[in-house]
Structure 1
Amino acid sequence: MTPSILFRISAVFVVLALLSSAALSASRIKDIADFEGIRDNQLIGYGLVVGLNGTGDSLRNAPFTRQSLQAMLERLGVNTRGVDLNTKNVAAVMVTANLPAFSTQGTRLDVSVSALGDSESLQGGTLLVTPLLGADGEVYAIAQGSVAIGGFSAQGDAASIVRGVPTSGRIANGALIERELDFKLASMTSVRLALRNPDLTTSRRIALSINELIGLPTAEPIDPATVRIDLPRQYEGNIVDLLTDIEQLIIEPDLPARVVIDENSGIIVMGQNVKVSTVAVAQGNLTVTIAETPEVSQPLPFANGETVVVPRSEVTVTEQTDRKLAVVPETITLQQLVDGLNALGIGPRDMISILQAIKASGALQAEIEVL
């Protein structure tokens, strides 16, 4: 095989490697942005769960459960005024659900049920008819059904065990939609894309990709989080086709150089664009050891004294002095930065302090965000 052919084959492999790396970092617009108006809506309601096996609310400690029970019985024609209710089979709950966009009347939703009072478990309970309200106060769905929980609780005379969370559960297809959202997508003449991670470069790339698809300057980046798209003539009356074509476009999102630190758990996350200039780092460990060796002091025979325990503590301080200055070279890739920091041979906790010190020296070209 001639050298020219070998050179061409190696060049092809290099191009394929570059294309594959670019494809791995690229994403569909569908995965990084949302069309304004096409979203879920949160619903909430207050209801009662009945049929519990003595694990419900204590009506004395949960007056809202007693009032709700009395009001429900009165609506059903049962007079409970002046009666001392004492049941442990009822629990007040909050019911939540997400109403998807373009949901039609008569379709069903999954709902979540959570205890509001001092109920011990919702196992075996049934949620009674509960209206689910939107943020505008209107009723959009009605929930009812048997509650399925993911935990359990058992109690004996001297011991008890709890697994999971028995005071919350779900009802599959437990809500029936009664009211539709008034959102007409087909009549819109322009739509807006909302980026999940706002960035000026990403919004501009999205607009350029959309304009290249349509062949007209219909998309315009308004700000780092929004791209406005005017409906072109060829898509009039059929905006769904336009949105379908747009959300399948592949672009490469741009991310800021950022280091996220969680000091509680010692987790460090670095972005791809994090760079560091050449710095020298030294780190030492200081260990303090306290050993307790109590001794028993006894009086002499036939002496008038008591046996006592005399505390004795031994405190030792050890400082590791074999740590020397280590050079972290100027990095080009994230892998080089990670390799340079790992060469210091330290744990995540000390790594957090070192990163903050490197940032303070001006050698870390990234933003540090502490959770």
Structure 2
Amino acid sequence: MKHPLTQIFGHMVAVVVIGVLVFNQTVFAEGLKLGDLCRVKGQESNTLQGLGLVVGLRGTGDSDALPTSRALARMMQLMGGPMATDRMGNLDLSDVADAKNVAMVFVNARIPPAGAQSGDMLDVTVNAISAKSLDGGTLMLTPLLGPRSDNPTVYAMAQGRLAVSRDGPATTASIQGGAKMEASVPAVFQKDGKLTLVLERDFASFDTAQRVEDEINNLSSLTLSDSLARSSGNSIGGVKSSRTWAKAIDQLHIEVGIPEVYRDNPIKFISFLLGTTIQINSHSNRVVINEKDGVVVIGRDVEIAPVLVTHRNLRIDAGGGGGFTQVSDKSDVPSNAKLKSLADALNALDVPTDDLIAIIKTLKRKGDLYGEVVFQ
């Protein structure tokens, strides 16, 4: 007698989804724009940071914290406040030792990938060091430095009333537009007449990097002038040269020379370059799992070895021929089964997504799943 799963599998025609189950195509037929695959190096976000004081708390500030007392006394002195000193000329901290409405905090601001100009206003994130809550507090004027401790340049000044999220911890707050840029931070994207393309992590591979290099070096089908070809050292427009215009450095980076005709207008060249269509292989041998949201994305080329899966009250034999067969002692298996078929069969039996994820984990751990498994 045939196993019920075999009968169900034999009558299955449509693709069935477990939770949210998606199957990849083998190739991006129309290709992707280069700008969707990579970014230009230099277009990264940067972080400014500093140490500041929050005042106006409701008794939830730092308690018995000497650094906070020193910072508060120093700030009051700089603002012209009458502060006592000892015989050595040091500030007497006894005047501010009992302050409970003050907290020392870390202050961060993020510069967008396009950079920031003097006068721009950035959002600020404030995190307490030892205070119990920042609710109701106000950040005093705080200088923000670059991420490198050896660079003392003040890039921005932050201040303002704190907003504590209702869903987040009371020790983290934000100030919308709380930091004013005092110095410009340009996004430098070229150096010595060259720019570097950085592939997104999801597309980074030696194959993709080589495809990008080849595509850029074979732009003869696009509208480029002979002078561009001569300056780039590439075979474009019928001009031959032994130099390479684009060169893949590794699986992430491709270095591209800016043609002479675009040296005075590199933005136009970058716009043209990032609009170029690239044909790449899809990740059809990859499984992506998001356990939190119950999403399983299975590439159509992911295979599993002939195995017997026993889970709860299920007993499934993944045999040859790309499908599922009844348990047998046959050792001559013509081909491996597809993981997609296993997912279809499990879905037909109303197996929950959590159980499918558990089976995939076990198959990968055992070495019987032929493909990459990515957890998000």
TM-score scaled by length of structure 2: 0.68
- What's the counterpart of residue 311 of structure 1? none
What pairs up with 1:1-371 in 2 under 5 angstroms? 22-23=29-30, 26-52=31-57, 54-60=58-64, 62-77=65-80, 78-80=82-84, 81=92, 82-83=94-95, 85-100=97-112, 101-123=114-136, 125-136=137-148, 137=151, 138-151=153-166, 164-181=168-185, 185=189, 188-197=192-201, 198-211=204-217, 212=219, 213=222, 214=224, 216=234, 218-256=245-283, 257-260=285-288, 269-272=296-299, 274-277=301-304, 279-285=306-312, 320=313, 323-327=314-318, 330=322, 336=341, 338-343=343-348, 345-359=350-364, 363-369=368-374
- Which residue identity lines up with residue 251 of structure 2 in the other structure? P
How many Å apart are 1:97 and its aligned residue? 0.9
Say which SS state the counterpart of residue 39 (structure 1) adopts: coil
Give the SS at the match of 1:67: helix
CA distance in 2, matches of 1:345, 1:368: 23
Please state which structure has a larger fraction of its residues in strand. 1
- The secondary structure found in structure 2 opposite 1:283 is strand
1:165 is paired with a residue whose SS is coil
DSSP-derived class of the 2:157 partner: strand
- Displacement of 1:194: 0.8
Q: What one-letter code is carried by the residue in structure 2 that aligns with 1:142?
A: M
Structure 1 residue 274 displacement after superposition? 4.1
Query: Is the CA contact 2:38–2:199 (under 8 Å) kept in the aligned structure 1?
Result: yes
What RMSD, in angstroms, separates the aligned Cα atoms of the two structures?
3.4
Query: Identity of paired residues, percent?
Result: 29
Q: Runs of 5+ in structure 2 lacking a partner?
A: 1-24, 85-91, 235-243, 324-336
Give 1:255 deviation, angstroms.
4.8
Letter in structure 2 aligned against 1:57: G
List per-residue Cα deviations over 1:240-287 (Å, max 9, x = no partner).
111111222233443543335578x595644525421563534142xx
Distance 1:36 1:45 in 2: 26
**TM-aligned CA deviation for residue 177 of structure 1:** 1.4
C-alpha distance 55-141 of structure 1, shift in aligned 2 (>3 A): same
Deviation readout 1:119-174 (Å, 9 max, x if unpaired): 32332x221111111123332111112222222xxxxxxxxxxx543332222221
Match of 1:317 in 2: none
Matches of 1:201 and 1:259, distance apart in 2: 19
Equivalent AA in structure 2 for residue 65 of structure 1: T
Instruction: Name the CA distance, whole Å, in 1 between partners of 2:67 and 2:193.
Output: 49
**Whole-angstrom CA distance in 2 between matches of 1:333 and 1:364:** 9
Question: Is the Cα contact below 8 Å between 2:28 and 2:279 reproduced in 1?
Answer: no
Structure of higher CA gyration radius? 1
Distance 1:235 1:89, change over 3 A: same
- Cα pair distance change 1:51/1:192, threshold 3 Å: same
* Shift, 1:339, TM fit: 1.4
8 Å Cα contact 2:42/2:188 also seen in 1: no
The structure with higher relative contact order (CA 8 Å, sep 6+) is 2
Over 3 Å counting, the alpha-carbon distance change for 1:128 and 1:284 in structure 2 is: closer
Can you give the 5+ residue segments of structure 1 that lack an aligned partner in the other structure? 1-17, 152-162, 286-319
The CA deviation at 1:357 is: 4.8
Which residue type is aligned with residue 132 of structure 2?
S
